[in-house]
Chain A
Amino acid sequence: MARVGIITFPGTNCERETLRAFASVAGVEALPLWHRGELEDGLDLIVLPGGFSYGDYLRAGSVARFSPLMEQVIQFAHEGGYVLGICNGFQILAESGLLPGALIRNRNLRFISRNLTVRVERTDVPWTCACTKGQLLTIPVAHGDGNYVDHAEDFAQSDEAGQVLLRYCDSNGELTDAANPNGSMGHTAGIMNAAGNVFGLMPHPERAMTDRVGGGDGRILLQGIVQWVDDHSAGEESE
């Protein structure tokens, strides 16, 4: 049984569907966590869901990064624990320094809310292990600040190290400029840390769990992640 903790900050608004999405994956115990609470023991995965924590004031994610539970999450990640950030969760992880780079205003200055295609770059890591290399996934995005940036040399380093796991692409898998919705460097839609135990992505896999809502590609990601953390977690031994 994988124990998955899902954090709610003031202004988070995707915690319900994220809980529901994980709970719908076989072998998951999904636990809601409040940002002022304590981390439960034996968590295999911590998820920071989407939303607008603290109203996106100052910079998206910048205030949530200092909420009491985040100090414990940072500690958890430094000890090798698995941490996933979706959308605003990604922004919080970047602000906290657990992920490289930052997310700034979309280049067209518009809030983008639609299904997009992303290409899977590698599959030998927890976050995309159930996909095939080069697989195209259709997953919705909903963000105003999803433009991934870093210093050119730092990005080149993360990119060469294979940390970019998902890239925005067209329906043929090509990285055309028109297929880059927000202007992200290297078409980055999802990036992990160098150690590989922290991953952030702008698309919302929890909103793509079944064909009834327009597609189930998000389920492929979440199922793989759950399987991996269940097999590899440093936490409790699986029964």
Chain B
Amino acid sequence: MICTVHVELRDDILDPEGKAILHALHSLGYDEVSDARVGKVIQLQISGDNRDDLAPRVEEMCKQLLANPVIENYEIEWPA
């Protein structure tokens, strides 16, 4: 199955790329945008189909490597 991990900078960490995108959108006239944050999407092709078995492993992957808890939050999305 494919599991999707979303990694985002924590709210209290300034996101320079997000700021640049925000400025670009404003200069294009999209003044309704008040903030932009940039994150990463990591798709993992995982063998096995028991989500209960896989979930703790993916959680571990996020903590160990995929996200840096000092600056990032993550969310794990499973197929519906």
- How many angstroms from the CA of A149 to the CA of B66 in the assembled complex? 18
Q: Which residues of A contact B68 (CB under 8 A)?
A: 59, 62, 95, 102
Q: Which residues of B contact A108 (CB under 8 A)?
A: 16
- How many angstroms from the CA of A104 to the CA of B71 in the assembled complex? 9
Chain B interface size, under 10 / 10 to 19 / 20 to 34 / 35 or more: 10 to 19
With A107-B16, A183-B16: A151-B70 Cβ-Cβ less than 8 Å: yes
Q: Which residues of B contact A102 (CB under 8 A)?
A: 68, 70-71
Q: Which residues of A contact B71 (CB under 8 A)?
A: 102, 104, 149
- How many angstroms from the CA of A45 to the CA of B68 in the assembled complex? 27
Q: Which residue of B lies closest to A108 (CB)?
A: B16
Contact residue among B13, B20, B65, B70 (Cβ-Cβ distance under 8 Å from A109): B20
Task: Give per-residue flags for B52-80: 1 if the beta carbon is below 8 A from chain A beta carbons, else 0.
Answer: 00000000000001101011000000000
Q: Which residues of A contact B12 (CB under 8 A)?
A: 151-152
Residue A17 at the B interface, CB < 8 A?
Answer: no
- How many angstroms from the CA of A73 to the CA of B20 in the assembled complex? 38
- How many angstroms from the CA of A94 to the CA of B12 in the assembled complex? 18
Contact residue among B9, B14, B20, B70 (Cβ-Cβ distance under 8 Å from A150): B70
Contact residue among A66, A101, A147, A183 (Cβ-Cβ distance under 8 Å from B70): A101
Query: B26 to chain A: closest CB distance in Å?
Result: 16
- How many angstroms from the CA of A71 to the CA of B14 in the assembled complex? 31
Q: Find the residue from B12, B17, B65, B66 having the highest chain A CB count within 10 A.
A: B65
Chain A interface size, under 10 / 10 to 19 / 20 to 34 / 35 or more: 20 to 34
- How many angstroms from the CA of A176 to the CA of B71 in the assembled complex? 25
Query: B6 to chain A: closest CB distance in Å?
Result: 14
- Please tell me if the beta carbons of B13 and A104 are within 8 angstroms of each other in the complex: yes
- How many angstroms from the CA of A64 to the CA of B35 in the assembled complex? 33
- How many angstroms from the CA of A101 to the CA of B12 in the assembled complex? 13
A90-108, CB < 8 A from B: 94-95, 101-102, 104-108
Residue A58 at the B interface, CB < 8 A?
Answer: yes
Contact residue among A63, A94, A104 (Cβ-Cβ distance under 8 Å from B9): A104
Q: Which residues of A contact B65 (CB under 8 A)?
A: 58, 62-63, 66
Q: Which residues of B contact A152 (CB under 8 A)?
A: 12
Query: B74 to chain A: closest CB distance in Å?
Result: 12
A109-158, CB < 8 A from B: 109, 147, 149-152
Can you report 12 residue pairs joining A to B where beta carbons are below 8 Å apart? A58-B65, A58-B66, A62-B68, A102-B68, A104-B16, A108-B16, A109-B16, A149-B13, A150-B70, A151-B12, A151-B70, A183-B16
Q: Beyond A149-B14, A183-B16: 5 further Cβ-contacts under 8 Å?
A: A95-B68, A101-B70, A104-B9, A107-B16, A147-B16
Residues of chain B at the chain A interface (Cβ within 8 Å):
9, 12-14, 16-17, 20, 65-66, 68, 70-71
Sorted nearest first, the 8 A-B pairs with minimum C-beta distance are A102-B70, A102-B71, A107-B16, A105-B16, A109-B16, A109-B20, A149-B13, A102-B68
